A and B are shown apart, each in its own frame.
Chain A
Amino acid sequence: MVLQILFIAITLAAVALFSYNLKKVIRNIRIGKAADRTDQPQKRFMTMVKVALGQTKMFFRPVPAFLHLIVYAGFIIINIEVLEIMIDGVFGTHRIFGGLGPVYNFLIGSFEILALGVWLGCVVFLIRRNVLKLKRFSGVEMTSWPRSDANYILITEILLMTAFLLMNAADTKLQAMGASHYTAAGSFPVSQYLSNLLPNSEGALIAIERGCWWFHIIGILAFLNYLPYSKHFHILFAFPNTYFSNLEPKGEFTNMQSVTNEVKAMLDPSFSPPEAEAGKFGAKDVNDLSWVNLMNAYTCTECGRCTSVCPANITGKLLSPRKIMMDTRDRLEEVGKNIDKTGNGFDDGKSLIDSYISREEIWACTSCNACTQACPINIDPLSIITELRRYAVMEESQAPASINAMLGNIENNGAPWKYSPADRLNWAKES
């Protein structure tokens, strides 16, 4: 009874803490400017199903895609087992679904095979990161925290799966011994081989079984609460992120409505623009970006597919699309903490541009969309780069000199080069 109360208390506390942190993240995302992404709900839903659930974009790189699929399927499916654990924990029962008989045996059997798959997958992932040291997992932005974060996640998953399998192994043995409370239920294709490693005393087996049970469930609850601090948030945010992702052709940049009104007023004196909302052009800081940009930042799992295909990064420039996303999240977290401490409107003298992302980075972008194409969950670093450029050019008039010259030419001659508009048709004439 005490244990049941303890279990309920721990679970409620974990869920409450997670809700509290999730609310804060959602508040942070809402710092961003409005953007309408509610059109074409059916297409959005299908995009989410294909890209997030079906992981179609992962399969561009088959090896990690396969491993990731196993870990992902394991994660989702083993959660059915967590449901049983929850019920057992609350009511003090043992394997409450055991009455399902052959269905239950099949389920537990598949969980075990998946658990082994997850275990192996995570080991291979650890090797890829720490032994093979794949280039994709390095870079200026991959400082010690993001690298540790990845390792913590993988190690935790390995520990959780180990606990799950050991728990079953002890359970099998207890069931075979006819221990009271351990009614025979489940089939154990993987853990039966672990049974021999375990002691024979009933007391020790119960200690192992209970220990692993508690470790497994507390581990999962702790992991849930780790998400808001981690790149692993993608397991939740991948879904809304793909649902609200850009459905227009990648080449299309948004037209700024605030500019349209001003340009219309300039070209047509009779046009009276609607009340202009206060605000700047482009983005200096995270609150100037759209909420989609900010959700993108929380969704990024730092896999580096974007950076590995970025032409600027490949050729040694400072720009890394992954860094753009990580900087945006770091800055947003910082702004969020400022709000927690001092309320809205606090100025810490920092901004996304310059304090986090340098001018050199934003001007190295070729807007080629390789990053947005490569992202397995439709994150868009290019739109953040564009907003930062808009701020630099329209608010500060700070662009590289050659860019300013090009802009001057368009303004004066209607072409990015210094040619006379009168010569535009010369190509058609006899020379």
Chain B
Amino acid sequence: MSEQLNFEVPTMAEMIAKGEEPEILFWVGCAGSYDERAQKTTRDICKILHHVGIKYAVLGTEESCTGDPAKRAGNEFLFQMQAMTNIEVLNGYNIKKIVTGCPHCFNTIKNEYPGLGGSYEVIHHTQLIQDLINDGKLKAEGGESFKGKKITYHDPCYLGRGNDVYEAPRKALEVLDAQLVEMKRCKSNGLCCGAGGAQMFKEPEKGNKDINIERIEEALETQPQVIAASCPFCMTMLSDGVKMKDQDKNVQVLDIAEITARANGL
């Protein structure tokens, strides 16, 4: 289970040069591209795609921020500039289907790009994993066993409430034969990690607690061995929370893609 990839990640430019077309475009996102922790998830998503033999590609240096944080922060100009530039690239490559590694990219491309001329079939990586499991292409074998392990799943707002995706990530955990425990506030009642709405990029307003601490306390109440995430921003907030509570030795915070890759020995 080396950190690095033992295969090349194809870019759209390379693929087109070879006269090929991918089945699906993997939209990596800014966090997945630059954030060290999120990069691991990105590589695991590639490992899964590679493992099941889906023809995929990334945009590489042609990818740019979807504009999500600008839009949530109120800068519609910047958002639409980003969106239209990205749509030009995506339409130029005749992209039909996109999988994202981040619920924010997922929400923006899926819901906000069509009105600006960019209509694609967009899925989040947990939905891809669910589809692969349902099709029998992906199991949980040949790797680390999660059997009997206590796992609690944190719903990212933009995947859960934002787009009603609650089952796909849980499906990916169900196949592990692990012990799934829900937090008190879960699914449509899930509590935010504190990063959304551009909060990730600023200090919180004055209060009596940080939101990620409130959330991590609730997660730790379930006495989990693994806290599962499916968003790079939640990942940061939850990992920080676990560290602040001095629980990072006992509790792992892992993305659904990482768990899936590990369970399959990828």
Contacts and interface: CB of A to CB of B under 8 A. Distances in A.
Q: Do A and B come from one complex?
A: yes
20 contacts: A251-B163, A252-B111, A256-B80, A259-B77, A263-B77, A309-B189, A309-B191, A311-B194, A312-B211, A315-B213, A363-B202, A366-B196, A367-B198, A393-B75, A403-B73, A406-B202, A410-B69, A415-B33, A417-B30, A428-B9
Nearest to A252: B111
Contact of A406 (B61, B73, B82, B161): B73
Interface stretch (B38-46, B128-136, B137-145, B249-257): B38-46
B255 to A, nearest CB: 14
Interface in A305-337: 309, 311-312, 314-319
Given A251-B162, A282-B74, A314 B196 contact: no
B82 A393 contact: no
B266 interface: no
Interface string A323-364: 000000000000000000000000000000000000010011
A364 B194 CA distance: 10
B171 to A, nearest CB: 20
Interface stretch (A9-17, A88-96, A130-138, A418-426): A418-426
Interface string A284-314: 0000000000000000000000000101101
B11 interface: yes
A366 B197 contact: yes
Interface in B1-46: 4-5, 8-9, 11, 28, 30, 32-34, 39, 42-43, 46
Contacts of B110: 249
A39 interface: no
Interface of A: 60, 248-253, 255-256, 259-260, 262-264, 266-267, 281-282, 309, 311-312, 314-319, 360, 363-370, 373, 386, 388-394, 399-400, 402-403, 405-407, 410-411, 414-417, 419, 421-428, 430-431
Sorting the interface of chain B by its residue count into under 10, 10 to 19, 20 to 34 or 35 or more gives 35 or more
A428 B191 contact: no
Contact of B191 (A370, A402, A416): A370
Interface of B: 4-5, 8-9, 11, 28, 30, 32-34, 39, 42-43, 46, 58, 60-61, 63-65, 67, 69-78, 80-82, 84-85, 107, 110-112, 115-116, 157-158, 161-164, 185, 188-192, 194-211, 213-215
B4 A390 contact: no
Nearest to B158: A251
Contacts of A370: 157, 161, 189-192
B80 to A, nearest CB: 4
Given A309-B189, A373-B189, A415-B65, A394 B76 contact: yes
B34 A417 contact: yes
A307 to B, nearest CB: 14
A9 to B, nearest CB: 51
A406 B214 contact: no
